[in-house]
A and B are shown apart, each in its own frame.
Chain A
Amino acid sequence: MAIVPKKHEMPSQAPEVRAHNFKEVALGYTAEIAVEEANRCLNCKNQPCVSGCPVNIHIPEFIAKVKEGEFEEAYKIISMTSSLPAVCGRVCPQESQCESKCTLGIRFEPVGIGRLERFVADYHNENSKEDPVVPESNGHKVAIVGSGPSGLTCAGDLAKKGYKVTVYEALHTAGGVLVYGIPEFRLPKAIVAKEVETLKKLNVDVETNVVIGKTLTIDELFDMGYEAVFVGSGAGLPRFMNIPGEAYKGVYSANEFLTRSNLMKAYRDDPVTPIMKGGKVAVVGGGNVAMDAARTALRLGAEKVYIVYRRSMEELPARKEEVEHAQEEGIDFRLLNNPVEILGYNNPDDPRDPKNGFVTGIKCIKMELGEPDASGRRRPVEIPGSEFVLDVDTVVMAIGTSPNPLIKNTTKGLDVNSHGGIIVNEDGLTSREAVYAGGDAVTGAATVISAMGAGKLAARSIDEYLSKKN
């Protein structure tokens, strides 16, 4: 049988339609397409794809089950190593992970591993009505800080082993970046909510509205009888560029812009939380966060959305699919441009002019690529005298985040590195006994799958530690 050279297309909403709604862009494979796509897999003996997956999902095995139409069996194989397949199948940067190693990819397009994973997970979620079996309690209590992918995964793995787990979350909804950052059109909130529901069925307590370091400290958690703590508090502290004009009204961090839209539902027609809608928007940055902010702005009704990024298309760190989707939707990529100042309105004759202090534009300087830097990427350098102004009403800064210092500042003996990331050893253990950490809180902003992997590792280590303590 001849090999189908291309991945089966993902059924999607048409660009001109989806640019005006918040519904999911990619609609998912049907069973027929999934089986056909699975048939492209060569079932390679050496399984190169598996080494590309941070949690080593048994890829050829699960795909073999899809070929046979045994979707529930496929799900069981994925579940052996991953807890959030419906999420990772949607948001993993597959092109640089599993699919980058796929044998087929040498001559053709790789197998659509992520799309198959998503199909299997969605199939399971739709068809399986089984409640998880609650294991017998082993009497040990563990506390988890943060309900992002690392925390949810650690909680789930421990609960399945019989631990009594409590997840403490600062916000009013569990899910971390999956609910406040990644927008509905890429990851429906119902999927995250379902993961949280499953945890609750496993007898995990999810306590929202508790800020560890404020409401309770880590030391108090131990006083309350928890024998180990996992910190999965993420990297939620936004960075700004420190250029003039960042305090003008209409300048947002991506976190604020996305939180207002996602978590606070400002995208609705009559929201209670305000957001600047419409007009022209410049999003500064080139990662997934920038793509999400730009596409959110578009859906909120912007007439024009720019991505301003200081390197070129090749260095754009966002998932390839998101960049393509953004381009199809009409986002204007202004590459090799770096903002130097944000301009605002100031009426010298009328200090009470209501327009005063609002953004009017962003001044950028053109860049060219110079010598490669430490990361191997060619370093952008300014072209003198090439400044120009883009007229915009809103600027969203999506240039990265760092770990929040709240927990470090309130936990004696918890060591962090110079970027504020919590230091852990190969078991996920911090400098404090019985305190483990993982995800973005350790690595700085990374990926869902690596956070999930860190949660799994910590669960294993905590189990070993507490079993020995017995």
Chain B
Amino acid sequence: MYRIVSKKPLNSTVTQMEIEAPLVANKARPGQFIILRVDEDGERIPLTVAGTNKENGTVKIIFQIVGGTTEKLNHKNEGEYLQDFVGPLGVATHTDGIKKVCIVGGGVGCAIAMPVAQEFHALGAEVTSIIGFRNKDIVILEDEFRACSDRLFVMTDDGSYGQHGNVTVPLKEMLEKGETFDQIITIGPLIMMKFVVLAAKPYNIPVTVSMNPIMIDGTGMCGGCRLTLEQDGKRVTKFACVDGPDFNGYEVDFDEAMSRNRMYMDFERHAYEEACNLFKKEVA
């Protein structure tokens, strides 16, 4: 069992927790993730390591309440325990040789992007961050990003905070002005990442995308997290849990990935409603 050491809401649907898991805390690197189960018989869900504290042996997670399991997780409190917590899984984000990086995060993807931005900052790279949200109410981690970025763009879709527009707006502007980066790293909804790749393409800047397919074991055993890359004209199958979650954005078949992520839509809706009923809450 894994103790919840602290819990803090970041906005109405995003929560941050620190979990006691010394072995994971000791090993985790930016870009890696964990898999947890809230309770006995619970579902296994992957969440990114948002930070670690080696002395205390704790791992930070930041999650958005989107369905049954994240809803149940959010009902756990400080001092309570999670059933299972395994990691770190996946390959850490590559940082070698990258001196100037642009990090593009969308929504809760910013939580996944934050430790990557912090790592580059700590390594002395020049960090430009673009973080985007639907509106003012759900802006998260702005201070954290400001602290590790040389330049920060905060975007909202409706213009209620920061600049008006989505994350590709400042990216395109910079690229059009002739700015260049060693690497663009984008984390967020699939559709957003797809557009970031399209925006970068004319300038031939390498883009890393962080894929989040549906996972179970996270060790390469089930094959459920598979996605297709287009490499040298050949279609190649990869498992996001062991080969990723980072991939070359120019190679990923986004349309297929988006379709696969919707496999259990009806089921998830039902499970969410069940969980909400359990806690007597309206489903938005």
Contact = CB atoms under 8 A, between A and B. Distances in A.
Interface of A: 170-172, 180, 208-211, 214-216, 236-238, 240, 242, 246-247, 249-250, 252-253, 255-256, 259-260, 264-265, 270, 272-274, 354, 356-357, 404-406
Given A247-B260, A272-B42, A356-B259, A172 B86 contact: yes
B51 interface: no
Contacts of A247: 226-228, 237, 253, 256, 260
Contacts of B119: none
Contact of A272 (B69, B237, B256): B69
B278 to A, nearest CB: 12
Given A264-B43, A264-B44, A265-B41, A237 B220 contact: yes
Interface in B223-246: 223-224, 226-228, 237, 242
Contacts of A264: 43-44, 216
A209 B219 contact: no
Interface stretch (B7-15, B128-136, B152-160, B261-269): B261-269
Contact of A214 (B41, B89, B263, B271): B89
9 contacts: A210-B86, A242-B237, A246-B237, A247-B260, A249-B263, A256-B216, A259-B222, A357-B262, A406-B220
B221 A404 contact: yes
Interface string B206-225: 00000000001101111110
B37 interface: yes
B274 interface: yes
Given A259-B216, A274-B268, A214 B237 contact: no
A272 B41 contact: yes
A170 B274 contact: no
Given A215-B23, A246-B237, A406-B242, A253 B264 contact: no
B266 to A, nearest CB: 8
Nearest to A265: B41
A215 B26 CA distance: 9
Given A247-B228, A249-B260, A259-B216, A273 B223 contact: no
B23 A259 contact: no
A443 to B, nearest CB: 17
Max chain B CB contacts within 10 Å: which of A180, A214, A216, A249? A214
B84 interface: yes
B76 interface: no
Contacts of A210: 23, 86
B27 interface: yes
A442 to B, nearest CB: 17
A211 B219 contact: yes
B62 interface: no
A381 B224 CA distance: 31
B249 interface: no
A256 B222 contact: yes
B85 interface: yes
B105 interface: no
B216 A273 contact: yes
B24 interface: yes
A406 B219 contact: yes
Contact of B217 (A246, A259, A274): A259
B217 A272 contact: no
Nearest to B264: A274
Contacts of A211: 86-87, 89, 219
A255 B267 CA distance: 21
B84 A357 contact: no
Contacts of B262: 249, 354, 357
Contacts of A208: 84
A273 B45 CA distance: 10
A405 B69 CA distance: 30
Max chain B CB contacts within 10 Å: which of A252, A255, A265, A406? A255
A172 B222 contact: no
Interface string B45-74: 000000000000000000000001100000
A221 B83 CA distance: 24
Nearest to A238: B223
Contact of A215 (B86, B220, B265, B267): B86
B19 to A, nearest CB: 12
B222 A270 contact: no
Nearest to A170: B219
A275 to B, nearest CB: 9
Given A172-B86, A250-B263, A357-B262, 12 more contacts: A172-B83, A172-B84, A210-B86, A211-B86, A216-B27, A236-B221, A240-B223, A259-B216, A259-B217, A272-B42, A273-B44, A274-B267
Nearest to A358: B263
B107 interface: no
Contacts of B223: 238, 240, 252-253, 255-256
B31 interface: no
B27 A357 contact: no
A256 B43 contact: no
Shortest 6 CB-CB contacts between residues of A and residues of B: A357-B259, A256-B222, A236-B221, A209-B86, A253-B223, A274-B267
B276 to A, nearest CB: 14
Contacts of A406: 219-220, 242
Nearest to A268: B41
Nearest to B24: A215
B27 A255 contact: no
A255 B37 contact: no
A356 B263 CA distance: 10
Nearest to B34: A209
Max chain A CB contacts within 10 Å: which of B42, B69, B86? B86
A139 B40 CA distance: 35
B88 interface: yes
Nearest to A240: B237
A265 B40 CA distance: 11
Nearest to A351: B255
A30 B86 CA distance: 43
A318 to B, nearest CB: 21
A404 B86 contact: no
A236 B228 CA distance: 20
A172 B23 CA distance: 16
B101 to A, nearest CB: 25
A123 B104 CA distance: 63
Contact of B27 (A214, A259, A272, A273): A214
